[in-house]
């Protein structure tokens, strides 16, 4: 899976309502609020999300036309955490 940790951070920040300004002021705010909300270490949450992503439906990327799987923002119009390589059979 070729998903970077920053994509997961973007997803969690969107989910928890953490602004870019908040993140610029406090680099650990996303990890701390994630732990406070879910009682899960950030990296463990990332690993779990990567496994869950394999269960999401494939959609066609508007920009590249490539099939990708991922998690959308609150509005459902942007994939914040996505991967196009998860179609490899295990």
Tens digit of pLDDT for each residue in 19-56?
A: 999 999 999 999 999 999 999 999 999 999 999 998 99
Copy the structure tokens of residue 20. Answer: 């870019």
The region that residue 17 occupies, defined by phi over 0 for left and psi between -120 and 50 for alpha, beta otherwise, is left
Burial class (CB in 10 A: 0-12, 13-18, 19+), 81: buried
Find all residues with CB under 8 Å of 9, minimum gap 6, and list them.
30
> What's 2's DSSP letter?
-
Model's pTM, two decimal places?
0.84
């Amino acid at each position: 899976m070729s998903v970077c940790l920053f994509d997961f951070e973007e997803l969690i920040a969107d989910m928890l309502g953490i602004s870019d300004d908040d993140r610029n002021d406090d680099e650990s705010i996303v990890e701390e609020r994630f732990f406070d909300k879910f009682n899960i270490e950030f990296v463990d949450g990332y690993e779990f999300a990567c496994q869950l992503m394999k269960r999401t439906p494939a959609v066609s990327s508007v920009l590249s036309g490539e099939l990708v799987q991922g998690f959308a923002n609150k509005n459902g119009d942007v994939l914040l955490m996505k991967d196009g390589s998860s179609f490899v059979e295990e």
